[in-house]
Chain A
Amino acid sequence: MDLSAINPVLLIASLMVAATPILLAAIGELVVEKSGVLNLGVEGMMIIGAVSGFAIAVESGSPWLGFVASAVAGAVFSLLFVLLTQVAKANQVASGLALTLTGLGLSALLGQSYVGIRPPQMGKLDIPLLSDLPVIGPILFGHDPILYLGIALTAGVWALLKFTRAGLVLRAVGENHDAAHALGYKVIRIRIMAIMFGGACAGLGGAYISLIRVPQWTEGMTAGVGWIALALVVFASWKPWRALLGAYLFGGVTVVQLNLQAAGVAIPVEYLAMSPYVITIIVLVILSADKSSAPAALGRNFHASR
């Protein structure tokens, strides 16, 4: 066991990388839940994003195109959920599961010919001077653009929800869809847009795993990250900045256990590997006492009967 091999600067830098897919998916889901919809299909949308982003990046040679494709694929795939819950008024929990089960199968099918290939690499955003700074440089300024996009999205969603009219309408729809409908807002249309935004974010998060975090494609490679993102929204009590904090916490756990594995700690690998999930459960327990900030209409379908 050699703990001195763990470099704290690299640790924090890789923590941010590990946190980004969770953050992207969680921010998307946060918006969805704010609109009063519970989409449990995050894992399915992520893996669809992961495979389509990977495929397009490999075929086109451009990781940028890959990311764009992953967001589009995630949003398009989320339309299945729209169809089930917003059009056919199906149960949201069951529909989310259908989305995940279908997504896992479909991605395995689409990804068959991409196993074992290395995708084109996305360059790091090297800002002259800033990224040369000791310690802070590699931690804060030596990353790929998508990581910053994740942080920007967090800020954007926060500002949108807090300061804009659109954010207010979105929250109104999530708190009381009957009242919002009575005021003349298009409840279903707003929810559809929120769900598609969530799908696009989940898709980006998935592609981040297959293109940057792991860089390769393997079946079922999201391995529960989508579910952790769902837990994270509860953890964050539907607040964007707390989602960022939570994502870094989970990213930290993931990276630390990987580092401990590499350092050959006496704990068997499997117990280290299960730690992110165990910690997710513990955090959920600690925080689920407070449900005050959950959108009131969460999980309830809207049907304009009158």
Chain B
Amino acid sequence: MIRLEKRPQPSRAWSLATPLVAVLATMLFGGLLFAALGKDPVEAIRTIFWEPLFGEFAFYYRPQLLIKGAPLVLIAIGLSLGFKAGIWNIGAEGQYIMGAIVGASVGLAFYPYEAWYIFPLMVIGGALGGWIWAMIPAVLKVRFGTNEILVSLMLVYVAEQLLASASLRFLKNPEGFGFPGSRNLQSYESAFNADLIAGSGMHWGVVAALIAVIFAYVLLNRHMVGFHIRLTGEAPRAAKFAGVNPARLILLCLGMSGALAGLAGLFEVSGPAGQISIDFNVGYGFTAIIVAFLGRLHPVGILLAGGLMALTYIGGDIAQSNLGLPSAAIQVFQGMLLFFLLALDLLTNFRVSLRKVEVA
């Protein structure tokens, strides 16, 4: 009989080890999945995790790692602040889309005028777009007690329709021969979020992600707000006695995560993606949830987890073209990772012993 005994304190060792064990378990079961799909499991796993970093074409894939990782880290950092306090923003995907739409609109409003201040204005627009979209569930929760999980999620579907509307109508490229999609910001110098060092993949979004990691670390460990966030998540009643204003915390956490998701969208649309299109969003907002948990809601952990998740995206692409592995397999792979992580958390919070239950 397996016996569970709740630990007085979550085990620090297990809390650090579980992400690693979860990755190993995912590799194992992912390998079985790939084998079931008729692919060589060892080859598939090697392609996903080794090829982008050290393979023959790694010089091409390594910059991609930054490009895919940056939005994930940016969004996940924001989400983790809320998750820590028990505020569940699940609609980062929508905030990401709105950041892109608002930011791109700001840039395109200036077209074809060139000026140094256009890109900074777009950045502000992007953050604002995501912030406003996150403020809807935040205000509704504070004012009416509405469930933020459901509202932020519904807003993803609304944002997707707005995205369609933007690429078919109000942001449509007038010189695009009737094809949907906006002008390409990559060919509009003042609005282009280019690589800071050509070919390195290092654009402003990557810089912003790194700043966000440092900012979140300082906030959580050296600032009263961070203490309030942690306190609210761990002991809501104690937080109340300590004078934490829950409404303000909700507005702050959702606002920050919305603004960061919006920034991610703006950096993506003005850089790697280049334009607003119907299929512009690729689920970064949802994958970032996995990144946040995999990183243990810790800024440095999220940085590492973002890198790992970016690796599965790029490795997945390579496996798709080289081995014919379906793209959905990578999605399952990522879902599995979250699954194993949550399951293995048992070891962090409970002591598992294999002794007989004493009969009283």
User: Would you call B158 and A98 a contact (CB within 8 A)?
Assistant: no
Give the distance in Å from the alpha carbon of A94 to the alpha carbon of B83 in the complex.
10
Q: Mark A57-101, 1 if CB is under 8 A from B, else 0.
A: 000000000000000000000001001100111110111011001
Least Cβ distance of A90 to chain B in Å? 4
Give the distance in Å from the alpha carbon of A105 to the alpha carbon of B287 in the complex.
12
Q: Whose C-beta in chain B lies nearest to the C-beta of A95?
A: B342
Q: Which residues of B contact A112 (CB under 8 A)?
A: 326, 328
Q: Which residues of B contact A6 (CB under 8 A)?
A: none
Least Cβ distance of A208 to chain B in Å? 20
Least Cβ distance of B250 to chain A in Å? 14
B121 sits at the interface (CB 8 A): no
A26 sits at the interface (CB 8 A): no
Give the distance in Å from the alpha carbon of A179 to the alpha carbon of B197 in the complex.
64
Q: Which residues of A contact B339 (CB under 8 A)?
A: 80, 84, 98, 102
A104 sits at the interface (CB 8 A): yes
Q: A105-B328, A223-B157, A277-B157 in contact; A90/B343 too (CB < 8 A)? A: yes
User: Would you call A97 and B326 a contact (CB within 8 A)?
Assistant: no
A273 sits at the interface (CB 8 A): yes
Least Cβ distance of A133 to chain B in Å? 38
Q: A270-B168, A281-B155 in contact; A106/B335 too (CB < 8 A)? A: yes
User: Would you call B146 and A285 a contact (CB within 8 A)?
Assistant: yes
User: Would you call A102 and B335 a contact (CB within 8 A)?
Assistant: yes
Q: Whose C-beta in chain A lies nearest to the C-beta of B293?
A: A94
Give the distance in Å from the alpha carbon of A153 to the alpha carbon of B169 in the complex.
44
B70 sits at the interface (CB 8 A): no
A residues 187-238 with Cβ under 8 Å of B?
Answer: 219, 223-224, 227-228, 230-231, 234
Q: Which residues of A contact B335 (CB under 8 A)?
A: 98, 101-106
Q: Mark A262-306, 1 if CB is under 8 A from B, else 0.
A: 000000101101100110110011001101000000000001010
Give the distance in Å from the alpha carbon of A230 to the alpha carbon of B147 in the complex.
11
Give the distance in Å from the alpha carbon of A202 to the alpha carbon of B37 in the complex.
27
User: Would you call A101 and B165 a contact (CB within 8 A)?
Assistant: no
User: Would you call A84 and B331 a contact (CB within 8 A)?
Assistant: no
User: Would you call B343 and A88 a contact (CB within 8 A)?
Assistant: yes
B338 sits at the interface (CB 8 A): yes
A108 sits at the interface (CB 8 A): yes
The A contact surface, by secondary structure, is helix
**Stretch from B123-131, B211-219, B259-267, B345-353 forming part of the interface with A:** B345-353
User: Would you call B342 and A98 a contact (CB within 8 A)?
Assistant: yes
Q: A101-B290, A105-B331 in contact; A83/B164 too (CB < 8 A)? A: no
Q: Which of A40, A102, A280 contacts B332 (CB 8 A)?
A: A102
A109 sits at the interface (CB 8 A): yes
User: Would you call A280 and B293 a contact (CB within 8 A)?
Assistant: no
User: Would you call B146 and A284 a contact (CB within 8 A)?
Assistant: yes
Q: Which residues of B contact A109 (CB under 8 A)?
A: 37, 326, 328-329, 331-332
Give the distance in Å from the alpha carbon of A227 to the alpha carbon of B157 in the complex.
11
Give the distance in Å from the alpha carbon of A303 to the alpha carbon of B331 in the complex.
32
Number of chain B residues whose Cβ lies closer than 8 Å to a Cβ of chain A: 49
B88 sits at the interface (CB 8 A): yes
B336 sits at the interface (CB 8 A): yes
Give the distance in Å from the alpha carbon of A284 to the alpha carbon of B336 in the complex.
32
Least Cβ distance of A92 to chain B in Å? 10
Q: Which of B136, B149, B164, B293 contacts A40 (CB 8 A)?
A: B149
Least Cβ distance of A266 to chain B in Å? 13
Q: Which of B6, B154, B342 contacts A88 (CB 8 A)?
A: B342
B residues 157-185 with Cβ under 8 Å of A?
Answer: 157-158, 161-162, 164-165, 168-169
User: Would you call B342 and A105 a contact (CB within 8 A)?
Assistant: no
Q: Which residues of A contact B150 (CB under 8 A)?
A: 227, 230-231, 234, 280, 284
Q: Which of A105, A223, A271 contacts B334 (CB 8 A)?
A: A105
B132 sits at the interface (CB 8 A): no
Q: A93-B149, A102-B339, A305-B6 in contact; A227/B332 too (CB < 8 A)? A: no
B4 sits at the interface (CB 8 A): yes
| B residues with CB within 8 A of A | 4, 6, 37, 88, 90, 136, 140, 144-147, 149-151, 153-158, 161-162, 164-165, 168-169, 286, 289-290, 293, 326, 328-336, 338-339, 342-346, 349-350
Listed by A's residue number, 23 A-B pairs whose Cβ atoms lie within 8 Å are A88-B342, A90-B342, A98-B335, A101-B334, A101-B338, A102-B332, A105-B329, A105-B332, A109-B326, A109-B331, A112-B328, A224-B153, A224-B156, A227-B154, A228-B154, A234-B150, A270-B164, A270-B165, A271-B161, A288-B145, A288-B147, A289-B144, A305-B6
Q: 17 extra interchain contacts, Cβ-Cβ under 8 A, other than A224-B157, A271-B161, A291-B145?
A: A88-B346, A89-B346, A98-B338, A98-B342, A101-B286, A101-B334, A105-B334, A105-B335, A108-B328, A109-B37, A231-B147, A231-B150, A234-B150, A270-B165, A280-B150, A285-B146, A289-B145
| A residues with CB within 8 A of B | 40, 80, 83-84, 87-91, 93-95, 97-98, 101-106, 108-109, 112, 219, 223-224, 227-228, 230-231, 234, 268, 270-271, 273-274, 277-278, 280-281, 284-285, 288-289, 291, 303, 305
